[in-house]
Chain A
Amino acid sequence: MTKAHRSLLGLLFASLSLSPAFADGLSDITERGVLKVAVPQDFPPFGSVGPDLKPRGLDIDTAQLLADKLAVKLELTPVNSTNRIPFLTTGKVDLVISSLGKNPEREQVIDFSSAYAPFYLGVFGPQDATVAALDDLVGKTISVTRGAVEDIELSKVAPKGATLKRFEDNNSTIAAYLSGQVDLIASGNVVMAAIAERNPQRVPVMKLNLKNSPAYIGLNKQQPALLGKVNEILASAKRDGSLEALSQKWLKQPLPADL
């Protein structure tokens, strides 16, 4: 096979993988007057079904913010973590706002906006606990959900004298912390927000950061106009404090300065 053949084949496959034609996502949206967004339905506080059976959460509010700025109507599609990218690549939605983290595998398939919400794993504890470095964990007990990313990360870096108590699920991990059976809890900031909702007077504060994986908006590849517009809206929302307000409302924590 010659070089020319190979590149022709390559072009063919490239066009196949981008099956529906995306001429320009942004003009499609404004002409249609509707922004179609995939949001989570089972991942509070990013997205869940409220008591009124309507979706609610940080991702839904972010989608609404974008729709308002684009001056179009918003149409939500509930997705889960497995089907959210296929919904985007098959053209069923314009954007995925579904607490999506960025990684190289995903970057081969879709594009990402700038980050819109913090998502991190850390060790949390009571306000008065003095934990500033990993070595301060010596002599402390930390509850963590067995097999979760935070368990793997903390197990790698925890010093010898720290005791990890591994529980079956998030609820037991939280209960162990709230009942005082352990000193600290390793989890995500999302879980802390869940505690804040249920037990506001014992909200653990972050002591150590284990892993940062902020949430991004996912878009189809090769849509510079849409990507530019989304980033522009996010940047102005960061400036005028509306993203900060969303973070306070749903995550009960300020937006990190480095986001």
Chain B
Amino acid sequence: MAYQFDFVPVLDNADLLLQGALFTLGLTAVGTLLGVGLGIVGAVLRAWRIRPFDRLFGLYVELIRNTPFIVQLFFIFFGLPALGVRLSEWEAALLAMVINLGAYSTEIIRAGILAIPQGQLEAAAALALSRFESFRYVVLRPALAKVWPALSSQIIIVMLGSAVCSQIATEELSFAANFIQSRNFRAFETYLVTTLLYLVMAILIRQLLAWLGRRYVMGGR
């Protein structure tokens, strides 16, 4: 055989890969919390047409969903310093992920809110639920339950998309993979191991989100 497979140089760097994987997971966790939070705010403002914020969020959604993630990332990291805003590479990566997920989840959750029958809100009023109770149990939870699978997929996409943050020297999993590959030139072995790591991480996050959904979002129905 022409090519001798050798995984030892990759496994020698297992600590770098694990560190990178943990960093990716951390970025995704914080990014998801903040991003989905932003999405909920945006979805409510847009679904209920609260002016002028609904228009502003509409603009934001169009801007982010119609431009590439890597360009948004480069703008934050390389562009903003010209305006005096200097973020470190992990701050820039996190901000880009929050902004990106915020835009997509605004639209996903808005769809869930719009799918709630008007009668359900009227029923809540008839039962004398407070505004907050009615928002929490009659609007948000059923809306999230309807779009939970779509939202989970979007979170996975953001986790996988964080790979491009290696371009601004954020030391996440792809950075570790590129770093190892640039030292041992074992591209096949390095990227095979990295691919498997991403796959395992994606499956774990999907399972975790499914469990959270059953336990906290759909369980209440």
Contact = CB atoms under 8 A, between A and B. Distances in A.
A168 B178 contact: yes
Given A167-B167, A181-B86, A146 B81 contact: no
Contacts of B13: none
A177 to B, nearest CB: 11
Given A147-B183, A165-B89, A168-B167, A179 B78 contact: yes
Interface in B161-179: 166-169, 175, 178-179
> Which of the listed residues B81, B82, B175, B181 has the most CB atoms from chain A within 10 Å of its own CB?
B81
A180 B168 contact: no
Given A146-B179, A146-B182, A166-B179, A179 B82 contact: yes
Interface string B175-192: 100110111000000000
A243 interface: no
B74 to A, nearest CB: 8
Interface residues of B, number: 17
| Interface SS of A by simple majority | mixed
B77 A181 contact: yes
Contact of A179 (B81, B169, B182): B81
A180 B89 CA distance: 12
Contact of A166 (B77, B86, B169, B181): B169
B77 A147 contact: no
Interface string B47-82: 000000000000000000000000000000111011
B169 A176 contact: yes
A151 interface: yes
A179 B178 CA distance: 24
A179 B77 CA distance: 9
A166 B181 CA distance: 13
Contact of B78 (A147, A152, A175): A175
A172 interface: yes
Contacts of A166: 169, 175, 179
Contacts of B178: 146-147, 168
Interface residues of A, number: 15
Contacts of A146: 178-179, 182
Given A146-B178, A146-B179, A168-B178, A181 B81 contact: yes
Interface string A146-171: 11000110000000000001111000
A151 B179 CA distance: 10
A172 B168 contact: yes
Contacts of A167: 167-169
A172 B175 CA distance: 14
Contacts of B175: 166
B193 to A, nearest CB: 18
Contacts of A172: 78, 167-169
Nearest to B79: A179
A152 B182 CA distance: 10
A143 B168 CA distance: 10
B84 to A, nearest CB: 10
B98 to A, nearest CB: 20
Contacts of A181: 77-78, 81, 86, 89
